[in-house]
Amino acid sequence: MDLGKRVKQLRVKNDMTLEELASRTELTKSFLSQVERNLTTPSLPTLENIVEVLGVSMGDFFQEEKNVQIAFTEKDYYEDEKDLVKITYLVPNAQRNNMDPILLTIEPHGVSQVIPPHDGEEMGYVIRGRIVLRDLTGNTSVTVKKGETFYIKGDFRHCLENDGGSVAKVLWVSAPPVF
């Protein structure tokens, strides 16, 4: 682990200057600069002091940050086809994220999975065709056409249905993930 790089990374993340960190840790700016450049290594008690001021635990400090993938291609997508519906998961392992985007392709007369009530929100953008957003709790529905968007609270059972004669495509996002 690059100790100096990690100290600097956390300092910058906390929007602190070297002078501020020095003041809060009662260490010199020069010493902290040398730590960040890996020219010196602090003692364990000194490192604990630095880490505490930076607002993390020692365990979190030594936890290597993983390279997080931020762009995805078709090679990363996962597809699941059932009956007249194809779900394309656009972000792998989205269950670890705060939202889950899918591309839903619904053949004529196809119906998506039923989404049970949840504490989150959802939005969808119809790319092609039209869909009917069905509220299975209140037995109501709304039609959403190409170029239109829906935005709902997830506090009711619902699904999307293609009652038209052509394929419908919807970009559907749930936060938190429910798909």
In a domain, 68, yes or no: no
> Would you say 156 and 135 are in contact if contact means Cβ atoms under 8 Å apart?
yes
Give me the residue label for tokens 């968007």: 149
Does residue 100 form part of some domain?
yes
In a domain, 151, yes or no: yes
Cβ of 176: how many Cβ atoms within 10 Å?
A: 15
Question: Where in the sequence is the domain holding 111, given as residue range(s)?
Answer: 74-175
Which of 63-72, 94-103, 117-126, 151-160 is predicted least confidently?
A: 63-72
* 82 and 31 in a common domain: no
* CA distance linking residue 27 with residue 37, whole number of Å: 16
Domain count, the chain: 2
Domain boundary among the residues 32, 62, 92 is at: 62
Q: Is residue 69 part of a domain?
A: no
In a domain, 67, yes or no: no
Q: Report residue 63's pLDDT band, with 50, 70 and 90 as the boundaries.
A: confident
Q: What would the pLDDT profile of 31-56 be if each residue is shown by its tens digit? A: 999 999 999 999 999 999 999 999 99
Q: What is the value of pTM for the model shown?
A: 0.65
Q: What is the mean pLDDT of the chain?
A: 93
Rounded CA-CA distance 39/24 in Å is 21
Q: Are residues 82 and 168 in the same domain?
A: yes
Q: Are 79 and 88 in contact (CB under 8 A)?
A: yes
CB 146 within 8 A of CB 130: yes
**pLDDT confidence tier of residue 57, bands split at 50, 70 and 90:** very high
Nearest CA to 79 among 58, 104, 111? 104
40 and 123 in a single domain? The answer is: no
Output 60 or 101, whichever has higher pLDDT. Answer: 101
- Read off the pLDDT of residues 68-82 as tens digits, 9 standing for 90 and up: 788 999 999 999 999
pLDDT at residue 64, as a whole number: 67
